[in-house]
C-alpha cells in the first residue's frame, strides 16, 4: 500500500503529461491537417523524412543552435556569472539597483519584452539613435543581423536567472578559502579559475541545462521582433514549427518537427547530465 499516496500524482501525470505527449507522437505519424481534410491517414516516417530533406528545416536547426549558443550558453551564462561576481563586491545600493533592473527585465512577459526590444533595434530605434549621437554608423539591425539581434534580446531578458543561480552558489563558498588563496599570492583570475569555478561547477551545469532548454523553446520574443524574417534569417525551430502547423495547416508535419525539437532538448540534457556525473 506504499504506492497509494502516489496514486493521485501518477494519475495526473498520465492524464496531463503522458497523454498529450502520446497523442502528439501519434499525430506526428499522420498527415493530419488543420483544414480541408475529412480524415487523417497514417503515413509512418514520411513527415520525418520530409523534414530532413527540407532546406528550410535544416536552416531552422542551424539558427536554433546559433541562437542557443549565443544567447544561452555564452551570453546569459557568462553575463550572469559576471554580474554575480561583481555584485559580491558592490555596495548595498548598487546591488539593489542592479538586481531590480536585471530582474525587472526577466519578469516582463515575453511578448512585452519583444516589442520593447523591437523598438530598441529597429531602424529608427534607440540603438541607432545612440550610435548616431556618438558619430558611429547606423544600420537596420533587424534586417542585416536579425539572429544576432534576437540573441542579444534574449540575453537581456534571461540573464537574471543565471545571476540568481550564481549568486546563491557563490554565497556558499567559504570566505576562508578565497582569503587563504589571496594570502598565498593568487591573483583574482587565478582564484576564479582554480577555486571559484571548480567549487560551483554543479551550479554551472544545472544553470546551463535549464537555460538551454528554455532558450530552445523561445517563440514570443522572436515572433514579436522579426517573425522569423527577413526571409528566414531568424526562423528558429519553434517558429518553423508554428508556420508549418498553423499557417500552412500541416498539423502532422508541424508535430513531427515539435518532436524533433524535443529530441534536441533531450540530447542537450543528456550531455549536461553526463558532465555532472563525471564531476561527481
CA distance 181 to 27: 59
Query: Are 106 and 161 spatial neighbours (Cβ–Cβ below 8 Å)?
Result: yes
pLDDT of residue 279: 59
Burial 177-186 (b: 16+ CB within 10 A, else e): ebeebeeeeb
Q: Which domains are present in the chain?
A: 45-279 (1.10.3720.10)
Question: pLDDT in tens for each of the 280 residues of the chain?
Answer: 677 777 888 888 788 888 888 888 899 999 888 876 767 888 889 999 999 999 999 999 999 999 999 999 899 999 999 999 888 888 888 888 888 888 888 888 888 899 999 999 988 888 888 888 888 888 888 998 899 999 999 999 989 899 999 988 888 877 777 667 666 666 667 777 777 888 888 888 889 889 999 999 899 999 999 999 888 999 999 999 999 999 998 999 999 999 999 888 888 888 888 877 765 5
Radius of gyration (Cα) for the chain, nearest Å?
23
The H or E element that residue 206 is part of is helix 201-216
Amino acid at each position: 500500500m506504499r504506492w497509494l499516496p502516489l496514486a493521485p500524482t501518477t494519475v495526473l501525470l498520465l492524464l496531463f503529461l503522458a497523454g498529450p505527449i502520446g497523442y502528439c507522437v501519434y499525430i506526428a505519424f499522420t498527415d493530419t491537417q488543420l483544414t480541408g481534410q475529412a480524415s487523417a491517414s497514417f503515413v509512418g516516417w514520411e513527415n520525418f523524412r520530409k523534414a530532413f530533406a527540407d532546406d528550410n528545416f535544416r536552416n531552422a536547426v542551424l539558427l536554433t543552435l546559433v541562437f542557443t549558443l549565443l544567447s544561452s550558453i555564452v551570453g546569459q551564462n557568462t553575463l550572469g556569472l559576471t554580474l554575480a561576481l561583481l555584485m559580491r563586491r558592490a555596495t548595498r545600493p548598487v546591488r539593489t539597483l542592479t538586481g531590480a533592473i536585471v530582474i525587472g527585465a526577466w519578469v516582463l512577459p515575453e511578448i512585452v519584452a519583444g516589442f520593447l526590444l523591437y523598438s530598441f533595434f529597429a531602424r529608427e530605434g534607440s540603438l541607432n539613435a545612440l550610435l548616431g549621437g556618438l558619430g558611429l554608423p547606423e544600420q537596420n539591425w533587424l534586417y542585416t543581423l536579425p539572429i544576432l539581434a534576437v540573441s542579444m534580446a534574449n540575453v537581456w531578458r534571461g540573464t537574471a536567472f543565471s545571476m540568481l543561480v550564481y549568486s546563491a552558489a557563490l554565497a556558499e563558498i567559504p570566505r576562508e578559502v578565497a582569503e587563504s588563496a589571496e594570502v598565498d599570492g593568487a591573483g583574482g583570475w587565478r582564484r576564479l579559475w582554480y577555486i571559484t569555478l571548480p567549487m560551483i561547477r554543479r551550479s554551472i551545469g544545472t544553470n546551463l541545462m535549464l537555460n538551454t532548454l528554455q532558450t530552445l523553446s523561445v517563440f514570443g520574443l522572436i515572433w514579436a521582433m522579426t517573425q522569423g524574417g527577413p526571409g528566414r534569417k531568424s526562423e528558429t525551430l519553434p517558429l518553423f514549427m508554428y508556420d508549418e502547423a498553423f499557417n500552412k495547416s500541416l498539423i502532422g508535419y508541424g508535430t513531427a518537427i515539435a518532436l524533433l525539437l524535443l529530441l534536441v532538448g533531450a540530447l542537450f540534457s543528456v550531455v549536461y547530465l553526463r558532465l555532472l556525473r563525471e564531476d561527481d
